[in-house]
Amino acid sequence: MTEPTPQPMAPQPAAPLTAAEDKQWASFAHFGGVLWFLPALIIFLVFKDRGTLTRQESKEALNWQITWIGAWIVLQILWVIMAAVFFPIALLIGFLQFALYVVNIIFSILGGVKVNGGGSYRYPVALRLIK
């Protein structure tokens, strides 16, 4: 006699996050902005279906990070062009890049603190690319 082939088990959906975990992952999405876009992207992809606050806040953080990286790339291209043409303007653009990085750190920390305190954070200047 042949034994029946065992059927593979269907993957079980992940358990929903508790309120505390939801708030924790939502604030981590903002705090992760200090390390650029990767933490917000990972949190959005992994936890978006497990908690509404995490979905909302990680999407907001990811939209900000995409906006920030886009602006940083534009400034980087301008810096390279101006470094070859007129160096004093390249110095100004380099300063703007540094200022943009500081703004990213400040906004990321503000967002994480606000969400960790029980609120919601909306970045003042962000393209809403992920709906």
pLDDT tens digits for 44-65?
Answer: 999 989 999 999 999 999 999 9
**Nearest-CA neighbor of 47 among 18, 67, 68, 69?**
18
- pLDDT tens digits, residue range 8-21? 777 777 888 899 99
**Would you say the C-alpha torsion 63, 68, 71, 74 has a positive or negative sign?**
negative
C-alpha 88: how far from its chain's center?
Answer: 33
Q: Which residue has the tokens 């508790």?
A: 18
| DSSP alpha helix (H) spans, the chain | 19-31, 38-47, 52-85, 87-116
